[in-house]
Amino acid sequence: MAERGERQTRAWGLTSPLAFAWRANLGTLIGWAVGLTVRDSLAAVLNTVPAVVVSGGLAVLVLGLAPRATVGLVASAAVLAYVLQIVGPALDRPEAVVAVSPFRHLALVPVESFEPGSTAVLLVIGVIAAVIGTAMFERRDLVGA
């Protein structure tokens, strides 16, 4: 007989994908209502992949160097990068400061055309950070606390 916590986990595992699918369908319907094609919507979603790869690479790098700081540091970096992209130009910050944010290098697809150069650079940065973090994690001396 399954325990209560296990039943709740199973229920969440079944309802979470259904809720996600419902929200995705709602988003698609709203997009069609304003004139976006499926291709435009997909391009806009895929355009954010390089920023996700950079964030993931940073997470693996911090995990390899300082595992206890991973969640706080990576979450703070992601929020800071997003806020810097939004607020930085409004506060007349130098371009060099605002350019630290990976979001700054993403085109506003489908309004602007896709930029493969900046996408490639962001992907390479994310992969290099993940490789270095993996190597550092493998070298750690993992002993019980």
- Given this model, what pLDDT does residue 3 score? 67
Between 55 and 142, where is the model more confident? 55
> Residues 130-137: what's their mean pLDDT?
93
- Given this model, what pLDDT does residue 120 score? 95
Q: Sign of dihedral through CA atoms 122, 125, 130, 133?
A: negative
Q: Is residue 7 classed as helix, strand or coil in its secondary structure?
A: helix
- Given this model, what pLDDT does residue 114 score? 84
Between 145 and 26, where is the model more confident? 26
Contact present, 39 and 109 (Cβ < 8 Å): no
User: Quick one: pLDDT band at residue 113, thresholds 50, 70, 90?
Assistant: confident
Instruction: Tell the burial category of 106 from Cβ atoms under 10 Å away from its Cβ (0-12, 13-18, 19+).
Output: buried
- Given this model, what pLDDT does residue 127 score? 95
Give the rounded distance of the alpha carbon of 35 from its chain centre. 27
- Given this model, what pLDDT does residue 54 score? 94
Closest Cα partner for 63 from 9, 142, 144?
142
Instruction: Tell the burial category of 108 from Cβ atoms under 10 Å away from its Cβ (0-12, 13-18, 19+).
Output: exposed
- Given this model, what pLDDT does residue 11 score? 59
What are 36's two structure tokens? 């976006």
| Per-residue pLDDT reduced to its tens digit, 58-95 | 999 999 999 999 999 999 999 999 899 899 988 888 98
